[in-house]
Amino acid sequence: MSLAKVLSIMYLSLAIIFSPIMLFILSMDGMGLIEGIFAIVFFVVFYGIAGAIVGLLIGTIYTLVAKRVGGIEMDVETS
């Protein structure tokens, strides 16, 4: 579940960062300001939800695979 939260926030952040570019592109296409803002809000919310769903799926698949093969092993050295 924590991966779902992290990916949701990451996708949401990216959508917010790129929303002005999307609004500019939509305005060049002839879409009005109200419709453009509605599309951007939908875009941001959709990306946040999509990030949560993808994170949940990836976390679930990793958990199932890690139980069979042993997961990821890491060696950490401190200097």
pLDDT tops 90 at residue 32: no
pLDDT tops 90 at residue 31: no
**Is residue 58 a contact partner of residue 3, using CB atoms and an 8 Å limit?**
yes
**Is residue 8 a contact partner of residue 48, using CB atoms and an 8 Å limit?**
yes
Cα dihedral value 32, 33, 38, 41, nearest 10: 140
pLDDT value of residue 70: 84
List pLDDT tens digits, range 43-65. 889 988 998 999 999 999 988 99
Neighbours of 6 (CB within 10 A): 14
Alpha-carbon distance 31 to 57, whole Å?
Answer: 35
Residues in the chain: 79
Choose between 30 and 76: higher pLDDT. 76
Domain parsing of the chain, residue ranges? 2-68
Confidence of residue 27 (pLDDT cuts 50, 70, 90): confident
Q: Look up the pTM and report it.
A: 0.69
